[in-house]
Each structure stands twice: as C-alpha cells, then as structure tokens.
Structure 1
C-alpha cells in the first residue's frame, strides 16, 4: 500500500475510533417501538431494520410479510433489495480491477468484442468507469427477460445493441441499470462464472452472507416478503404475484437478502475491504476508489451529491457517507453508511407509498443519535421564489418515457410534470403527475421540489443545460433531454 494512502487511512481510523467511542449504546427496545410506530403511521405492511453500530449489527423487525396471510416479519426474513444490488456488482468489478484483469478506463469492447449500443461512436469509447459512475449515457431502463439459462446476460447484452443514449458519454450523470447489466456480463467473461456464481463465491462466501441470494428457488428456503402496492395515505394491497425481476436483471437489481446481510455488505467498505474475520476481500485502494467523488449530480439530494464507482456519495456535517436505494414490484430497500462513524442503516420494506418517509425519519434520527450528524432535509424555499416557468415548459423524452411540463394556475405551484410511458412502454402504466415548487434558481440550474399530494415526501426536479447548451431535466436521477 502506498505510504500516503496508509497515512490517510490511519487518520481516518483514528477519527473513526474517536467517534465510535463517543457514540451512545444502541437502545433496541426504543428503536423497536419507533419502527412499529412509523410503519403504522405510514401504512407500511412490514419491514426489517439492521443497524451497524458499536461494532455489531442490531436487527429489528416489524409488521407482516403479507397482509392476507398475516405471517410476521422476523429478522431472518428475506426481501428483494432491487438496485442496492448495483453496489455488489460494482464490488465484483473492482475485484477484477484489483487483480489486474480489467482496466476501468479502456473501452468495454476490449473485453466484450460484441458489445454495442445504437450509437456507433459511443460503442467504441464507453468504458467500465463510465458504466460504474452512470456517465455512459446509455438509456437506463432497458428490460429484457432472456430466460433462466446461464446465457441470460450474454443474450441481454446482445439485445442492447439497439438501445440509444440519453446524452453523449461523459456529458452528464444519468442513472443506467442497463450499464450495470453490461458490467455483470464483464464479470462473467473475466471470471468464467455466471454473475450469480461470482457473487456467491467472491463476495457472499468470504463475507459470511448466508442470507443473500439471486434465484427464487433459493428464496423459497426462507421467510420471504410479499410486495404491496397502493397510493400514498392508503393501506397497500399485495401484488398479484411474488414478482422477482428476470434473472437477466440480476446485476442491476436481482438480489434478495435480509437487512442484516445488507448491513454486513456495507461493513466491507467501513472496514476498508476486509471481512470480519480479517480476510482481505477488496484492497483498501479499491474501497477508497469506490467512495471517491467521480461525478457531481445535477440533483444533489435524491441519492447523494456525487456518484462514485457504484455508490451514491454524500456529506453530512462534514462526514462523508455512501448509500443506495432499491425498488422492485412493491418492495423498497434503503442503505446509508457513515464509514468514519462505523455506522450503517439498512431498511427493507414490503411496500407502502410512504416507505421513503419511514426510512428518512429513521435514518435522520439514528444518525443524529449515533453519529451526531444532521441529515439534510429537502423541500421548497421558505419564501416563495419568483421563477419564470416559461423556459421549462415543454416535452422531455427519453427511450420509453415522456415527461410533459406545463404551467400551473396561481396558487397551485409553479409547474406540473406528467410522467408516462412512450414508444414501446406507452400505456403500460398509469401516468403520474407532480406539482413543482421552486427551491433555488442559479444561472447553471433551477431546482424544484415535487410531490403528488400532502402524503408524499418532496423529491427534486432539476432543470439544467449541458456544455453544448442542450436543455435537460434531471428527475429520479435520470437525465432527460428537452424535445420541444
């Protein structure tokens, strides 16, 4: 390890030890009561919470796995963690970079000669680093069920050759699940294993993640959460099926796990790349690289102010952190970690439109008590800003999705956004609408807070321009170009 890195790591360890020694003990009974209270208040059927603190993992569970069977959630219950899975795929990629098998800055086609997207020039230049930090520009929501065979990812990548770009590679950050499936295929080619096998053998086994899996027949060995759907303020109902994503979605969203196993995985990055028994899984340099700011987010709030190599990155009261959210059909997962404080919070839920509010409340209160930091709140400016809505009105389109921004009557917000399927996804889901209220206005970008009704939490909508002057909106961590 380079001397300068070792010195820096020593300083971090010293600060971490000081913060951990000053943190209060975890009060399981009080946090159990708080979890129960929040689930009831926000109509969330069930959840499992795992908190890494005091050097140990504290596990809590509340509610039911299924509102019709009334089977209770326990700490060993398994939930779908959705896009939190991307952190695991990123770690596998960094293992390969650690071993000298992958150059993050060389074109993907050097590893996957058959890789292609609709833009021929982008195909030649896109790198694994751009896939990891979501700057590849590849349209992010390409879904293709290529079956249950071990060739499912190879077939998925082959099918992605007609997928277009949201923006030129490197021009802005736009969240891409498609990119992570391409990374999953790179893992397969360089390890000679399926992505599922690589996950089990290279991460789960050394970290002791005995309740982390990717296939439904594995999930059936455990108590499994059923997804639930419903509008904010209403009691959600079970989804018609236990809808796990296709096997081909594994690298970007196909992991199921207990909350404690998610916290154990987060601990890998808190402990500098080592397993609890001291086994070196990732180099300290690779961990630091994953937590290094790679790109600034147009939206500074939703998943962090910056993106690293696999994680959303943030800073609360000067303390850096990382995390990710995940969602599948009626299940929502959340992870936030503060390495310097030795703290990670993982919440897995089985539905409820207000689940984000439950997590935000718990995470804010836990990190305040255990780490002494203030998780920032997001919402409209205290005094109504005078923002001209005209420059933002119009249509914004990316492959499969259309956003229509319209002016609003006085007293009903400044703008309204309608979000609906387009092209092949037209009519596949009910259109959604949000009212937008200004947060800030600068020459480089204008930020609005959006929500559907008073039961919703505020989410950011950011209007900005690329270096070439083209207008974009950043919403749900995805960049969408203005079409007219």
Structure 2
C-alpha cells in the first residue's frame, strides 16, 4: 500500500513538473460562445437593448465577433451589422493626429494656431492651446464655455473652427481636464488641413484600410449623413424600446465612426499590438500607441482618445442618443468592444457594464447579472406621473372651496400656498442643465435631446408642471372673481341698516 502511494507521488511530481515547464494553461485560448451569448442576452434583457454586437480579441487573434437580437427593422443583428461607435471614434482621430506627428508634419506641443490659422476664440489664452491639449481634453474649452449641442450645428469641420470663435476658456490651457466634443472637432479639422485630404478620406486611406477595416466609414452630421445601411437606434421608456432617429448633431472627429463587430476586432488588435494590424501593417509606433493610452499628467486619467482606470485598463465609452458603445483593453492582452442599438438614459449611462461582465468572463470569472435598474427607475417615474395626475385632478376639483376659504386672506398668506405650484415648472425648465451637471459632468444637452435621454422623466415633470400651473391659475382666477363679486355688492341704505339693527 505504501509503495502504491509512492508511485502516485512520482506521477504527481512528473505532472506538476510538466505544467511548470510548459507554462500556465490558459482557459481562455478558445472562448466559450455559449457563455458569451448568455452574458450578452442577460444584459440585453435587464438593460433594454434590442440588439448588441460584440468583438473579443487576444493579442493578434480574434476570439469572437457576433451580433445578438434585432435591429429596429426586425432583422437579426450580426457581426457585420453597421453600428455607430459614438465617442469611441475619438481614438481614431487621435491616431490620425499621431500619425502626422510621427511623420514630422505636426508637433504635439505646438499651438493649434500653427496648423489652423483660422483658429480664434474669444479668449486671448486660446493662442496658447496646443495640439496635445486638444487630444488630452485639457484645452480649457468646456461644454459650458461653448455649448456645442445647444448652438447651431455646423455643416463641416471647417464650420466647427468658425463656431469655436465664440468660445472662452474655463481655465488656463493644460491645467484641467474637461471632456468636450469640440476639442476633437478641431483635431479632425487639423488633420484635414495638414494632410490636404478630407478627414473621411484620410481615415479611409491611412487608418481603416491599413487596419483591415473594410466596412468602416465616418460621417460629419446626424441624421443628414447616415447611410441607408444603418438602422435607427432606440430610446427606452417603461420597458419598451422605441425606434428613433438620432437628433441633429455634428459628430465629425468626435463621434462619427460607423463600423461592425468584425472591423472593431481589427481595431482592438491594432491597439493591443503596439500599432500593428493583424495583416502586419504598422499604423503607428509602439511609443505612439503607449502615449495615446497614457495620461500625460497625474491630475487626470485621459490620454489621447483613450482613458485609463485604477486597474490599469485602457477604455473609452461612446454615447449617442440612440446607440451606445464601449471599447476595453485589458492588461493581459484581451480586447473587448460592444455596441448596443439603444441610447444612454437615466439609470443607464451606456453599455459599459456589458464590457465589464465580458471582461470577467474572459479572465475566467463568473459574471454577475444585476437587477433591471433601468426598468425599475422608469416604473417609479411612471408611478410618480400617475400620482401627479391624481393629485392634480383632486386639487382642481377642490379649487372653489379653496378660493372661498382664502377669499379674504392677505397676500402674505396666499404666497406660500400658491408659489410652490411653480416648482415643477422650474424643474422642467432647468432639467437640461441639471441633468448635464448631475449625470454628464457639466456636459451640454438640449431639451429635445433630454427627451431621448428619459421619456419617463420628461413625462413626469411635464405632467406635474402642467397640472400645478393649472391648479395655480384656476385658484387665482376663482379668488379674483370671488373678491370682485364681494366688492360689487352695494352697501345697505341707512333705513335698511336701522331695520336690520332695530
């Protein structure tokens, strides 16, 4: 019996030694397609995404590309379905600028005005803004100093330079990070001027084609430039996904790239391959890619077209009002990209959580599926809307009794009872700024775009505002009538008074 145990020990030692010599065995060399589908389907159900595309890579290998669900026309979403990647597009613009820098056509620390002579803003400090500061989002221009969504939308990249003349700087250039699309509109225009090619043509010839991204393109303005092959995305309300056209916005250079899961896989390989595409073409040097992925200052985490997190992962989110996207590069060489055909909204700040769950999966963990928060929030808002309707109707019906009660009350007693009725209206009017500050970090958003963001929130605040203003107007009108009626009653004559008192 003891001899048998010794043999097992010898065999065990041989096995262990073999494993050590061979190196660790990766459980993720081949991805479990069923596991990916389970994670994506579970996320789509809880977050309200009708269709999602996914790309997963490891080093220079494509582990998975695919589509799940349906588009707004009811057709199946596949790995070749065209999708906008929104602000993930900034990584393409940054790479284009870096290519020009490596070709000695641009110096990153030179003023933007050296390359864009028409670049003038309403702040003398603008002359010091550098190319690097545009890419780092540290120019000092913010959505508050130039509300790019609220202003008239330009027709071209040249128009964005003209529009920027109204900008001021929130801080000294290079001292703080403020995310705004304007910086990347200007960077894309710089590519046009320096290269002598339209921005879309430059990306096609120097980025998309060398990277092997055959189906990828870029546009300047939505919905004007959207190709026929791109289906409408969706907005979300009370558990339903509603097909909607993206509102008018200028997206060139900032969030205008349209691509597929298959092409996104090639882009992930370029990023994790030190600038070399799967076909062996070098788009950028290793040092250039590292510079894009790394913040130039410890005060912020944003590099050039990419951000980093505390785990050392490189990422960038993308948000349209009808689509959302996320790209994530893991330290172990995995790349993950996801795009969903539903926009950002209240309790759903994009599709990034799905990328996180897939990251857990490829690292050998067990992704956790949370509660459908988006649906819960909308149902709560729906309940508040119904409550507002009930209270509003009840208060309207009680308006005459209220007016009789306070017919003779002085103004100082009426004001505290009437003025609070204006609070819902004030909330409705201030919502764009409030949402921009609370959930967008100071980003600009219009009221129309806010309707895309949360139909349920707009419905509640609108109903509450209308009913409360209605109650206020009704009560004031009845009060005025009652006081006028009292004033119109004639004073009794002297004989009548004597009769009444005698």
Q: Same fold (TM over 0.5)?
A: yes
Cα deviation code 1:149-198 (max 9, x no counterpart): xxx21122122111222333222111021010111111011110011001
- Separation in structure 2 between the aligned mates of residue 348 and residue 34 of structure 1, nearest angstrom: 14
Select 2:153's aligned residue among 131, 142, 145. Answer: 145
Q: Within 5 Å, give how 1:167-316 maps onto structure 2.
A: 167-215=171-219, 220=227, 222=229, 224-231=230-237, 234-239=239-244, 241=245, 243=247, 245-246=249-250, 249-296=251-298, 306-316=301-311
Question: Would you say the 8 A contact 1:401–1:425 is kept in 2?
Answer: yes
Give 1:81 deviation, angstroms.
Answer: 1.1
Select 1:135's aligned residue among 121, 129, 138. Answer: 138
Select 2:91's aligned residue among 82, 87, 92. Answer: 87
Give 1:256 deviation, angstroms.
Answer: 0.7
The 1:354/1:142 distance shift into structure 2, 3 A limit, reads closer
Give 1:428 deviation, angstroms.
Answer: 4.5
The 1:75/1:20 distance shift into structure 2, 3 A limit, reads farther
Give 1:18 deviation, angstroms.
Answer: 7.4
Question: Would you say the 8 A contact 2:138–2:176 is kept in 1?
Answer: yes
Question: Would you say the 8 A contact 1:166–1:174 is kept in 2?
Answer: no
Select 1:349's aligned residue among 340, 345, 353. Answer: 340
The 1:83/1:421 distance shift into structure 2, 3 A limit, reads closer
Question: Would you say the 8 A contact 2:94–2:304 is kept in 1?
Answer: yes
Structure 2 residue 314 is matched with structure 1 residue 322: yes
- Separation in structure 1 between the aligned mates of residue 106 and residue 84 of structure 2, nearest angstrom: 30
Give 1:219 deviation, angstroms.
Answer: 6.2
Q: Aligned residue for 2:358?
A: 366
Cα deviation code 1:228-287 (max 9, x no counterpart): 1124x5212111x355744xx210011111123223212212101111121211011111
- Separation in structure 2 between the aligned mates of residue 127 and residue 275 of structure 1, nearest angstrom: 29
Q: Aligned residue for 1:30?
A: 35
Select 2:54's aligned residue among 36, 49, 52. Answer: 49
- Separation in structure 1 between the aligned mates of residue 442 and residue 288 of structure 2, nearest angstrom: 39
Question: Would you say the 8 A contact 1:420–1:432 is kept in 2?
Answer: no
Q: Does the residue aligned with 1:341 lie in a helix, a strand or coil?
A: coil
- Separation in structure 2 between the aligned mates of residue 344 and residue 278 of structure 1, nearest angstrom: 18
Q: Aligned residue for 1:154?
A: 158
Q: Higher strand share goes to which structure?
A: 1
Aligned length: 365
- Separation in structure 1 between the aligned mates of residue 439 and residue 53 of structure 2, nearest angstrom: 33
Question: Would you say the 8 A contact 1:95–1:282 is kept in 2?
Answer: yes
Q: Does the residue aligned with 1:307 lie in a helix, a strand or coil?
A: coil
Gaps of 5+ in 2: 1-21, 369-430, 458-502
Q: Within 5 Å, give how 1:427-438 maps onto structure 2.
A: 427-430=447-450
Q: Bigger radius of gyration, 1 or 2?
A: 2
- Separation in structure 2 between the aligned mates of residue 65 and residue 74 of structure 1, nearest angstrom: 10
The 1:193/1:360 distance shift into structure 2, 3 A limit, reads closer
Per the normalisation by structure 1, the TM-score is 0.67
The 1:329/1:364 distance shift into structure 2, 3 A limit, reads closer
Per the normalisation by structure 2, the TM-score is 0.65
Q: Within 5 Å, give how 1:382-421 maps onto structure 2.
A: 402-403=433-434
Question: Would you say the 8 A contact 1:53–1:370 is kept in 2?
Answer: no
Q: Does the residue aligned with 2:110 lie in a helix, a strand or coil?
A: coil
Gaps of 5+ in 1: 1-16, 299-305, 377-399, 406-415, 435-451, 453-484
Give 1:370 deviation, angstroms.
Answer: 2.3
The 1:281/1:418 distance shift into structure 2, 3 A limit, reads closer
The 1:403/1:169 distance shift into structure 2, 3 A limit, reads farther
Q: Higher helix share goes to which structure?
A: 2
The 1:85/1:244 distance shift into structure 2, 3 A limit, reads farther
Question: Would you say the 8 A contact 2:44–2:50 is kept in 1?
Answer: yes
Give 1:292 deviation, angstroms.
Answer: 2.0
- Separation in structure 2 between the aligned mates of residue 186 and residue 358 of structure 1, nearest angstrom: 29
Q: Does the residue aligned with 1:346 lie in a helix, a strand or coil?
A: strand
